[in-house]
């Protein structure tokens, strides 16, 4: 049995408030972390009395009392990049200019806007990211052509992208060109890829809710502290995050139906998966001249 005072290095760093566990692993891999003057391997345990440094700066053990931790909700504007790398123009840290060291929980694409959490608590970052497939994220999406009934049905049922099929989700019409979608997963550029597969282009995307926290009246660029009630609900939601960590596998699409196409099939940002049967039989039916338009007045 291991010493109960031992702590994995990435956990030790994240609980200090320096960064998330995922970011800590990268620092370790880049040999930017030392324990007692030696470069450790991933999975190394920290013992009481060990001296841990990142880039030559000491990392202090976390306190059990986290009353000084920062938890904020931010309305990320379009054009801001969710990175803590200060050399990146338009990075989220310079945009917020918080007096404490904070980092984002997850990310929101540069062309998108809306709600994102930032914190100085590396431990909760890990818990939320591990529980990502178990909590809701709601988006308001504007597309380039009128939304059809078939489009809503296909989006709700699941769409083959990135070698998998998206989970069933709730999609509702908001207006002629706008719909809302609630996801419980976070594939790379998921909504944009789903729409593209069905012949639509996203012209605006805003995240309006994460779990029980609403964007509300926050204007682009504004932020606020999360309330005690919101933090209580978030902590309750991620209390069993370890149970969801291994439950993230997605169903694979039928290889006979789906093939990757695009200028660069090795680039995640450019790969498109097209289903020849579905595209031919469904997307082509939904051209601007033939697409059945929703009647917004329908009761």
Which of 35, 33, 38 shows the shortest CA–CA distance to 6? 35
Same domain, yes or no, for 157 and 124? no
Same domain, yes or no, for 198 and 223? no
Q: Would you state the pLDDT for residue 269?
A: 36
Contact 189, 161 (CB under 8 A): no
Same domain, yes or no, for 11 and 54? yes
181 assigned to some structural domain: yes
Angle at 271 between CA 266 and CA 277, to 5 degrees: 130
Q: What is the pTM of this model?
A: 0.66
Residues of the chain with pLDDT under 50: 1-2, 64-65, 243-251, 254-299
Please give the tally of structural domains in the chain.
3
Contact 12, 63 (CB under 8 A): no
66 assigned to some structural domain: no
182 assigned to some structural domain: yes
What six digits make up the tokens of 28? 């370790």
Same domain, yes or no, for 126 and 156? no
* Per-residue pLDDT tens over the stretch 13-69: 887 778 878 888 999 999 999 999 999 998 899 988 889 999 998 887 765 445 678
Contact 252, 164 (CB under 8 A): yes
| Nearest-angstrom CA–CA distance, 186 and 116 | 13
| Nearest-angstrom CA–CA distance, 170 and 156 | 6
b/e per residue 249-266 (b: at least 16 CB within 10 A) = eeeebeeeebeeeeeeee
Same domain, yes or no, for 55 and 178? no
Same domain, yes or no, for 275 and 193? yes
What CATH number did the domain enclosing 36 receive?
3.10.290.10
Q: Answer yes or no: 50 catalytic.
A: no
Same domain, yes or no, for 187 and 274? yes
Residue 284 CB neighbours (<10 A): 10
Contact 213, 115 (CB under 8 A): yes
Same domain, yes or no, for 262 and 182? yes
- Burial class of 119 by CB neighbour count within 10 A (0 to 12, 13 to 18, 19+): buried
82 assigned to some structural domain: yes
90 assigned to some structural domain: yes
Q: Would you state the pLDDT for residue 282?
A: 44
Domain region containing 103 = 71-134+212-227
Same domain, yes or no, for 127 and 272? no
Q: Would you state the pLDDT for residue 124?
A: 80
Same domain, yes or no, for 153 and 264? yes
| Nearest-angstrom CA–CA distance, 237 and 249 | 20
83 assigned to some structural domain: yes
| Nearest-angstrom CA–CA distance, 159 and 156 | 8
What CATH number did the domain enclosing 150 receive?
3.30.70.1560
111 assigned to some structural domain: yes
Same domain, yes or no, for 78 and 170? no
121 assigned to some structural domain: yes
Biggest alpha carbon–alpha carbon distance for the chain: 72
Query: What would the DSSP string read from start to end of the chain?
Result: ---TT-EEHHHHHHHTTSS-HHHHHHHHHTT-EEETTBPPPTTPEE-TT--EEETTEEEPPPPS--TT--EEEEEEPTT-B----TTSTTBHHHHH--SS--EEES---TT-EEEEEEES-HHHHHHHHHTGGGS-EEEEEEESS--BHHHHHHHHH--EETTEEPPP-EEEEEETTEEEEEES---TTHHHHHHHHTT--EEEEEEEEETTEE-TTPPTT-EEEPPHHHHHHHHHHTTTGGGTTT----PPPPTTT-EEESS-TT-TTT-EEE-HHHIIIIIGGGSTTTPPBP-TT--
Catalytic pick among 50, 55, 109, 254: 109
Bridge partners of 60, per DSSP, are none
Same domain, yes or no, for 186 and 202? yes
What CATH number did the domain enclosing 222 receive?
3.30.70.580
């Amino acid at each position: 049995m291991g010493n109960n005072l031992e702590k994995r290095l990435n956990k030790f760093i994240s609980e200090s408030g320096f960064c998330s566990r995922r970011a800590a692993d990268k620092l370790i891999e880049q040999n930017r972390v030392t324990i007692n003057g030696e470069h450790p391997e991933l999975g190394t345990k920290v013992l009481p009395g060990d001296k841990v440094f990142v880039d030559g700066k000491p990392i202090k053990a976390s306190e059990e009392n986290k009353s000084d931790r920062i938890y904020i909700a931010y309305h990320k504007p379009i054009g801001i990049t969710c990175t803590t790398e200060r050399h990146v123009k338009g990075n989220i840290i310079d945009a917020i200019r918080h007096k404490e060291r904070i980092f984002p929980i997850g990310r929101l694409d540069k062309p998108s806007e809306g709600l994102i959490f930032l914190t100085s608590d590396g431990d909760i970052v890990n818990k939320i990211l591990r529980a990502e497939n178990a909590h809701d994220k709601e988006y308001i999406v504007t597309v380039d052509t009128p939304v059809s009934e078939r489009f809503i049905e296909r989006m709700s049922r699941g769409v083959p992208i990135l070698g998998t099929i998206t989970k069933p989700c709730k999609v509702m019409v908001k207006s002629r060109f706008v719909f809302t979608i609630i996801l419980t997963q976070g594939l790379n550029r998921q909504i944009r890829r789903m729409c593209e597969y069905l012949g639509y282009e996203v012209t605006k995307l805003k995240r309006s809710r994460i779990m029980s926290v609403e964007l509300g009246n926050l204007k682009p660029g504004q932020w606020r502290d999360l309330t005690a009630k919101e933090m209580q609900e978030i902590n309750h939601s991620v209390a069993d995050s370890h149970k969801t960590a291994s439950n993230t596998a997605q169903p694979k699409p039928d290889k006979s139906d789906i093939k990757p196409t695009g200028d660069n099939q090795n680039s995640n940002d450019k790969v498109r998966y097209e289903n020849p049967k579905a595209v031919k039989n469904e997307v082509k039916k939904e051209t601007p001249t033939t697409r059945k338009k929703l009647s917004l007045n329908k009761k």
